[in-house]
A = this chain, B = another copy of it.
Amino acid sequence: VMAPHWVSRWPWWLFRASPGWRQTACTLRAWVEPRRWPGSFQGAGVASPLARRGCSSTSSRLPAVVLTQERCAVQRLPFSTVSEEDLAAFECIIPGRVTTDPEELEAHNVDWLRTHRGCSKVLLRPRTSQEVSHILRHCYKRNLAVNPQGGNTGMVGGSVPVFDEIILSTALMNQVVSFNSVSGILVCQAGCVLEELSRYVEEQDFIMPLDLGAKGSCHIGGNVATNAGGLRFLRYGSLHGTVLGLEVVLANGTILNCLTSLRKDNTGYDLKQLFIGSEGTLGIITAVSILCPPKPKSVNVAFLGCPGFAEVLQTFSTSKGMLGEILSAFEFMDAECMQLVGRYLHLACPVQESPFYVLIETSGSDAGHDADKLGGFLEHLLGSGLVTDGTLATDQKKIKMLWALRERITEALSLDGCVYKYDLSLPVERLYDLVTTLRAHLGPCAKHVVGYGHLGDGNLHLNVTAEAFSTSLLAALEPHVYKWTVDQQGSVSAEHGVGFKKRDVLGFSKPPEALQLMCQLKTLLDPRGILNPYKTLPSRA
């Protein structure tokens, strides 16, 4: 429904004003069509859905990942170990879908960032909530620990076992249950891949309320379990608002059906909220009801170069005023990010080199009105010197190319060496100060110190790379980064969650009373602690 004529509505002076402006990206050097994530990272052409979601098939070419239990000071809790009888029981519940093959398990034992490795011996792939219920009932009785796993794209080591926890994968729970094309309410199983859901609802003129770089692999259940933020958060808000219902299997196998698909339902406590962002520690999400916004009739993406971070901020506040209700994303990245994306993924910068880049997306219902608003906005930016160069994409292919620059930073970073990742909420005004300070502070100890992220939500992704892991670099980073963040009233985990990696920094963002209530909720819902142990809750509690 993208009106092909509206390009001509751009004010002519926009193109005259600066020779740097280019209408679309088609004239740019060296554009490489972004390959489907994460195929390109894992090595070419692995087509099986399972391989696409894990890293098995190429792991032999990658450096081995040390077992988490060897790298970290962590004690196995007294869970049972899986016996032959257990395997037989599982085989009864989900015949043919119990895997013990070490090679197949490899992809499920190692996380996306390749920093955590478990040694699970069993992978279970149920298809229905009833099967999940039977599995958990058995595990609960037998005191067997279970690690729920979606697309295994989590960033905090929550998605893989620490020891020998049974991996319960939602990979085969990938059916759409219903879609109401009037209300836009989608009900589906937890294992549906986000990108596939996107395609599905887009065919019916809706979009998913969330989008993220991992969309080709992550599951909607994993998204809900991590309360994923992502690229559309600015416009469509949190999953706490857009998820309308959940079906969850509790630790003892009870199926909790809160799968309503109503916009409003105030019949008692909103129980589903408990599970959004609980990272598999309170229950296994088996189905999701979610509200999809109508597909915007017109989408535009502007990619702009800014001379400094002050200009990035001013561009942001100007965009809120001038683009108003059609603003759908405001992302930023620094020059270092662009260099890494260029070096490792051969994506060329579409504008003149600048210290900062911003990606602004608009989504609206009237292409002409949107072009008007965006035109006025870009004119203003250019006239006031807030941006020095820019390019604009109006068709889907070019839009995807521009988005790839931002979405694939994570991937480029992971190719640069050992990555120290921080995902912080900060007041926008101070958001980049931490990057600048750290760069000076770390000097040559770090290969790169980069900052990018969802500026519109006050969410900085701070990443530091080095040739190899070093405890001295870690000591220079932590707790400094966390302390700095807390001094700004920020959060030490904006969207990635806690998992295994951050469970001991929780105290920076949550008072003791809150940590205590978290533990009480865990005990209430999972009294034996079999669900995703060693994760999300403070280890000393």
Residues of A participating in the B interface, judged by any CB pair closer than 8 Å: 182-183, 226-227, 229, 233, 237-238, 240-242, 254-258, 260-271, 273-274, 276-278, 282, 294, 296-297, 317, 320-326, 363-366, 369, 372-373, 425, 427-429, 454, 457-459, 489-498, 502, 506, 509-511, 513-515, 517-518, 520-521, 524, 536-537
Contact in complex: B365, A518 (CB < 8 Å): no
Q: Which residues of B contact A372 (CB under 8 A)?
A: 366, 369
- Chain B residues with CB below 8 A from A269, complex form: 274, 277-278, 282, 517-518, 521, 536
| B490 and A264 contact, CB distance less than 8 A | no
User: B277 contacts A270, CB within 8 Å?
Assistant: yes
> Bound state CA distance, A238 and B291, in angstroms?
12
Cβ–Cβ contact B264 & A495, under 8 A: yes
> What separation, in Å, do the CA atoms of A278 and B269 have in the docked complex?
6
Cross-chain contact A459 with B264 (CB below 8 angstroms): yes
Q: Give Cα A457 to B183, complex, Å.
A: 9
Given contacts A183-B428, A514-B271, contact A493 B265 (CB under 8 A): yes
List 13 additional A-B contacts (Cβ < 8 Å) besides A240-B240, A263-B458.
A183-B458, A227-B270, A233-B263, A237-B241, A257-B513, A264-B459, A266-B496, A268-B536, A269-B536, A270-B276, A270-B277, A294-B320, A325-B363
On whether the beta carbons of B425 and A364 are closer than 8 Å, the reply is no
Bound complex: CA of A296 vs CA of B326, how far in Å? 12
| Minimal beta-carbon separation of A228 from chain B (angstroms) | 9
Question: Taking the nearest CB of chain B, how far is it from the CB of A323, in angstroms?
Answer: 7
Q: Is the CB of A457 within 8 A of B369?
A: no
Q: Are A271 and B517 in contact (CB under 8 A)?
A: yes
B265 touches A513 (CB 8 A): no
Q: Known contacts A254-B513, A294-B320, A324-B365; is A491 also within 8 Å of B262 by CB?
A: yes
Asked whether, in the complex, the Cβ of A365 is within 8 Å of the Cβ of B493, the reply is no
B425 contacts A262, CB within 8 Å? yes
Contacts of A373 in B (CB 8 A): 365-366, 369
Interface contact B513-A266, CB-CB below 8 Å: no
Q: Which residues of B contact A255 (CB under 8 A)?
A: 513
CA distance A69 to B57 in the complex (A): 70
A498 and B182 within 8 A (CB): no
B366 adjacent to A273 (CB under 8 Å): no
Does A366 lie within 8 Å of B264, measured CB to CB?
no
Tell me if A267 and B498 are in contact (CB < 8 A).
yes
Chain B, residue nearest A228 (CB): B266
How far apart are A232's CB and chain B's nearest CB, in angstroms? 13
Contact of A428 among B182, B321, B490 (CB under 8 A): B182
Q: Which residues in B have their C-beta under 8 angstroms from that of A502?
A: 267
Select which of B229, B274, B509 is within 8 A of A267 by beta carbon.
B509
CA distance A282 to B265 in the complex (A): 19
Give the CA-CA distance A536 to B366 in the complex, in Å. Answer: 45
Q: Which of B237, B266, B369 contacts A497 (CB 8 A)?
A: B266
Q: Within the complex, what minimum Cβ distance (angstroms) separates A394 from chain B?
A: 18
Q: Which of B226, B267, B317 contacts A266 (CB 8 A)?
A: B226
Q: Is the CB of A266 within 8 A of B521?
A: no
Task: Return A56 CB to nearest CB of chain B, in Å.
Answer: 28
Chain B contacts of A425 at CB under 8 A? 262-265
CA of A513 to CA of B265, assembled, Å:
17
Known: A237-B237, A238-B241. A266 touches B258 (CB 8 A): no
With contacts A326-B325, A369-B366, A524-B520 taken as known, whether A263 is within 8 angstroms of B459 at the C-beta atoms is yes
Can you list 11 A-B contacts with CB-CB less than 8 angstroms, sorted by A residue number? A237-B241, A264-B457, A264-B459, A266-B496, A266-B497, A267-B509, A267-B510, A268-B510, A324-B366, A369-B369, A521-B524
Q: Which residue of B lies closest to A505 (CB)?
A: B267
Closest A-B pairs by Cβ, 4 of them: A241-B241, A324-B365, A273-B273, A267-B509
Cross-chain contact A511 with B257 (CB below 8 angstroms): yes
Report chain B residues within 8 Å CB of A520. Answer: 524
Complex CA gap A45/B256 in Å reads 52
